[in-house]
Amino acid sequence: MAKLSSTLCFFLLVCVLGTNGIRDIASNVIVPNDKCLTALGVCSFKLCDEHCCEEKCLNNFKSQNPSGDCEMIHGSGLIVCNCYHDCDN
């Protein structure tokens, strides 16, 4: 019979505790104060700068309290336009 390692058990415990209370779209339960994140493309001075990112976010999610920001993906050096907005119910 296979024996589970203590590392695997600890990892599974962290995964379960880390996701406790989160509701996904499949269960159709989203707390109104939750924020969703939508990546709107790459940020750069030539393609789309900080101001462009904010405008894209506002234009795409006008009624959902949007906030756009160029953010670096850690470890890759890639800068993307992230739009934080209220989730649809």
| pLDDT means over runs of 10, the chain (89 residues) | 50 40 47 81 91 96 94 92 88
Predicted local distance difference test score (pLDDT) of residue 88: 77
Predicted local distance difference test score (pLDDT) of residue 9: 41
Predicted local distance difference test score (pLDDT) of residue 34: 78
Q: What is the DSSP letter of 5?
A: -
C-alpha 83/C-alpha 58 separation (Å) is: 8
- Is the whole model's pTM more than 0.75, yes or no? no
As a 3-state breakdown, the chain gives helix, strand, coil percent values, each rounded to 5, of 35, 25, 40
Predicted local distance difference test score (pLDDT) of residue 67: 94
